[in-house]
Structure 1
Amino acid sequence: MRADGSPAVICIRLAVGLVFLSEGIQKFLYPDKLGPGRFDKIGIPAATFFADLDGVVEIACGALVVVGLLTRLAAVPLLIDISLAIVLTKLRELRPGGFQGVQGFWGMAHDARTDFAMLLGLIFLLWTGPGRWSLDARLTNNAHAARNTASNP
């Protein structure tokens, strides 16, 4: 669980975490458009349950990513979340007739730009960790200091 990467990683953490945090909150603020109503419209069974679960995961894990706490662990459910979003909403647009009136690869690429950016941002965070400016780094540094103090009285 190394957290000694570049402090610039905070830019990716903020971009990815704040998007997920915002999207999760909006599922509860606008349930008909972005929460259970949308999940029902695209054919997800138990739409209320899954929309609420999705919102909670996006809020909780998005917040963890923003502050850099359990960053790699928080990235995993968000990777599942964004992968399902791409499969359930964006890949449909490749079918004849598209989805929501958009057709073909370029329409799908346009609509999925944020999803793909989030996917790659999460892969980056999983790979590199949260960076030096994170709670993970602070906790790791405190643990190392405590171990060093205990072994060198």
Structure 2
Amino acid sequence: MNSSILSTEPQKTTLLIRFMVGFYFLAGGVLKFSYPELQETGFFQNLGFISANATVTVISVLEVLCGLMIIVGFFTRIAVIPLILIVSFTVLIGKFPILFEEGFWLMAHISRIDFAMFLGCVFLFITGSGYWSVDWKMLPKEI
């Protein structure tokens, strides 16, 4: 196993960022399964996706799976990559047009949670999952 993927700083406070990011995406994925009206398949149909339902299902599964992985700190660096892509796509396609229609401040307001989750994911990608994590437990310890 490549220990560079698992390597992490021994910071205990990283747990707070993991919980914030992990629960956000876990809740988003679970809600898409629990409340089909939240799936926004029309958004993907308007973008030209052939199977909007399949696209939303894949995104929901990724959000749940990666959210759980981040919460427990299991391959955190790998888990944040699809979430960074999801958030980037959401902002570029769904929120960025607001900049030209309504202006910067409304777009900034509407995108603030996406921006926070993006930065949280980038932070976890850089630092790893921290001391209280499965990744830390799996790291080979020096004797």
Is 1:109 matched with 2:114? no
Q: Distance in 2 between matches of 1:81 and 1:115?
A: 10
The structural deviation recorded for 1:32 is: 2.1
Q: Is it true that 1:43 corresponds to 2:47 in the alignment?
A: yes
Look up the match of 1:67.
Answer: 72
CA distance in 2, matches of 1:85, 1:20: 13
RMSD, matched Cα: 1.7
Does 2:11 align with 1:12? no
Aligned counterpart in structure 2 of residue 78 of structure 1, from 65, 78, 83: 83
**Amino-acid identity (%):** 36
Note the residue ranges of structure 1 that are not aligned, 5 or more in a row.
97-102, 149-153
Structure 2 residue ranges without an equivalent (≥5): 1-5
Which of structure 1's runs of 4+ aligned residues deviate more than 3 A? 37-40
Instruction: Give 1:39 deviation, angstroms.
Output: 3.5
Matching residue's letter, 2:121: L
Deviation, structure 1 residue 5: 2.7
Q: 1:3 aligns with which of 8, 19, 22?
A: 8
Deviation at 1:104, TM superposition (A): 1.4
Letter in 1 for 2:31: Q
* Corresponding residue pairs, total: 137
Alignment-derived partner of residue 134 in structure 2: 135
Conserved? CA contact 1:79–1:119, under 8 Å: yes
Say whether the 8 Å CA contact 2:31–2:38 is kept in structure 1.
Answer: no
The structure showing larger relative contact order (alpha-carbon pairs under 8 Å, at least 6 residues apart) is 2
1:41-98: per-residue Cα shift (whole Å, max 9, x none)?
x5351211111110000000010000000000101111111111111111021233xx
Aligned equivalents of 1:51, 1:30: Cα separation in 2: 12
